[in-house]
Amino acid sequence: MNAFLHLGSSTMKPACRILFATRCPVPFGFIPAKCNRAGSMGALASSRVDFGRCLLHADRCRAVDFGRAIDGVRNTLCVPGSGFGRPGNLLKSRGFRGNVSHRGVVVVANAVRSLSTSVETRVNDKNFERIYVQGGMNVKPLVVERIDKDENIVGGEDSSVKVVDDNINLEKSKAGLNESNDVSAKREESRVEKEAWRLLQDAVVMYCGSPVGTMAANDPADKQPLNYDQVFIRDFVPSALAFLLKGEGEIVRNFLLHTLQLQSWEKTVDCYSPGQGLMPASFKVRSVPLDENKVEEVLDPDFGESAIGRVAPVDSGLWWIILLRAYGKITGDYALQERVDVQTGIKLIMNLCLTDGFDMFPSLLVTDGSCMIDRRMGIHGHPLEIQALFYNALRCSREMLSVNDGSKNLVRAINNRLSALSFHIREYYWVDMRRINEIYRYKTEEYSTDATNKFNIYPDQIPLWLMDWIPENGGYLIGNLQPAHMDFRLFTLGNLWSIVSSLGTPKQNEAILNLIESKWDDLIGHMPLKICYPALEHEDWRIITGSDPKNTPWSYHNGGSWPTLLWQFTLACIKMGRPELAERAVALAEKRLSEDRWPEYYDTRTGRFIGKQSRLFQTWTVAGFLTSKMLLENPETASNLFWEEDYELLEVCVCALSKSGRRKCSRGAARSQILV
């Protein structure tokens, strides 16, 4: 195992090379506005890494603006044609301990290529707990100092050593992928499916000779791709599932490991860095010219600092965790999630989400545009989509985290949050005929702990459209809840994930599908599925979207129809034993998608037109369609992706108020739906 530590003999052939973070190192807590060439070796003096060398890449420093060096190396690169290395090598950055050759490039020995990610597999969980669980969230971990303890390797020595093996076939066999995993192999694919597979394949992004993701859209005629040529974390999920269900795990494994490396690169917006553990919204493979006509590839993440509106990708980490679990369940390669670096990645995300703030609610407080709807749409606060993904990610984390002394507090925090969050959403976000009628008759200005109208909702807020629209036999979870504010719009993704993760009660989940069925023309119409219903119009549009010309009524995020939502609808329908609903929707999409060149979204009330500014050959449209087809064909595979009700969680009330005798627990006082 000691071989892990001996990186750096320049006489050995490097399998791949690592370039240090080009933002120069600084003492804790200080972020220079520009890359400081002199750097500061202060806190890093004990490291053998010569961070100061990064100045030789100062041009990249400015151009790409990589994160602080505190986290060590955050950038892997390869040099095609250099004769060094083989494709597919993943080199773990966090906690990397190595020598730096000239030009800031770490020379990595062949002998250690299989250990790069293992550097952090020596994270001492006790340290982790101290730093991340016991409150020191602002302290950056100096993982370079934590690489000496073999006994902390979760999953044993084996899992850590094999991690970075650069042999693609070996990766594949390790992932347990073989013919039998190919669930679509049973019947002849339709012409549309064949075309979709070809498009998905064409969208694959390669890095150092290995597939690492799919670009968001791949329209050769598009002269202004903006960032649609990047790999978006959320967009890749349906691609990943399509590949996994097809028996192809390598790209997903690579994606998970590479994005893990990008986690917590601290890009800044006007000198402010987002919290550690944040996953980027997207990343791009850039080719950077080197000397001697060589080109290196670097992964360049975007944490929102370049994104339109500088939106924070809160959902990225949640999707990453969800995908990690799906990868394990479908491939049977559980060793990946057991690796300590991966375990640390999960913990970082969870800690970021579970950090104490000023919040009064167990739901996550976020800014506008922090999820699939990444523009101003009035969903700041506690939007359902984030809560549903959060709940799912909490459940996935609880299942995947190895429980030991170093993680037990975090696991406890996860359990507590799961319980509180499900109560909160089930109780306060749910609306159906009966509940709306209750709100309609609410008293206001109640001051007490057991008020009925806890959030002081003024009944006049109930929109007129809702009174006429809500069916007798259905209901849904509202879009957002804040003091004196219920956002009654129906957001599809959040409702579908509430079904999939059992955030809603079994009855609520059933009622959501009832509502979609009875409001088929409004929510599915000519193209599944409306991202939200209804659209903001007139003054609401002007004030809430800020007069966004792309989000005009019934377009884009403002009531547009997004075919990518199909796979999540399919998953929800299969879970609830109603695959025929999904079949209807898929058949509808299949008629148009290929002919319309796989648009990103559709416009108008019923989704009749291809979206005004919609991209064509949008990858998650293609992948969502394929995933839906495969799930419907093999519904049993869907159980790898959804969750049943967890009765244990419901029984526990963790607030401890009753024990202290101080106050009555509001859960008890509430008209509880939690066991329904």
Q: Which positions touch ligand GLC (CB under 6 A)? A: 216, 232, 234-235, 372, 374
Q: How far is the CB of 492 from ligand GLC (least distance, A)?
A: 13
Which residues, in sequence order, are CB contacts of 158 under 8 Å at separation 6+?
Answer: 335
What is the per-residue DSSP string for 199-221?
Answer: HHHHTEEEETTEEEEE-SB--TT
- Residue 216 or 641: which CB sits closer to ligand GLC? 216
- Residue 225 or 459: which CB sits closer to ligand GLC? 225
How does strand 282-289 pair with strand 295-302? antiparallel
Q: How far is the CB of 639 from ligand GLC (least distance, A)?
A: 27
- Residue 372 or 586: which CB sits closer to ligand GLC? 372
- Residue 330 or 565: which CB sits closer to ligand GLC? 565
Q: How far is the CB of 242 from ligand GLC (least distance, A)?
A: 16
- Residue 15 or 565: which CB sits closer to ligand GLC? 565
- Residue 390 or 423: which CB sits closer to ligand GLC? 390
Q: DSSP alpha helices (H): ranges in 111-177? A: 125-128, 156-162, 168-174
Which residues, in sequence order, are CB contacts of 334 under 8 Å at separation 6+?
Answer: 328
Return d(Cα 287, Cα 291) in angstroms, integer.
13
Task: Count the helix, strand and coil residues of the chain and give each as a percent rounded to the nearest 5.
Answer: 45, 10, 45
- Residue 4 or 598: which CB sits closer to ligand GLC? 598
- Nearest position to ligand GLC, beta carbon: 216
Q: How far is the CB of 658 from ligand GLC (least distance, A)?
A: 42
Q: How far is the CB of 630 from ligand GLC (least distance, A)?
A: 21
Name the maximum alpha-carbon separation found in the chain. 79
Helices 619-633 and 579-592 sit at what angle, rounded to 10 degrees? 140
How does strand 204-207 pair with strand 105-109? unpaired
- Quote the tokens at residue 410: 């975090």
What is the per-residue DSSP string for 18-44?
Answer: EE--SSPP--TT---SS--TT---GGG
- Residue 302 or 333: which CB sits closer to ligand GLC? 302
Q: How far is the CB of 304 from ligand GLC (least distance, A)?
A: 12
Q: How far is the CB of 373 from ligand GLC (least distance, A)?
A: 6
- Quote the tokens at residue 313: 């990708």
Q: How far is the CB of 346 from ligand GLC (least distance, A)?
A: 22
Q: How far is the CB of 515 from ligand GLC (least distance, A)?
A: 24
Unique residue bearing structure tokens 């890359």: 35
Q: Residue 76: what residue type?
A: T
| Helix (H) or strand (E) run with residue 542 in it | helix 538-545
- Residue 49 or 262: which CB sits closer to ligand GLC? 262
Q: DSSP alpha helices (H): ranges in 332-432? A: 335-338, 340-354, 384-400, 408-428
- Residue 264 or 316: which CB sits closer to ligand GLC? 316
Burial code (b: 16+ CB inside 10 Å, e: under 16) for 125-134 equals bebbbebbbe
Instruction: Check if the beta carbon of residue 652 is closer than 8 Å to that of residue 595.
Output: no
- Quote the tokens at residue 586: 């898929």
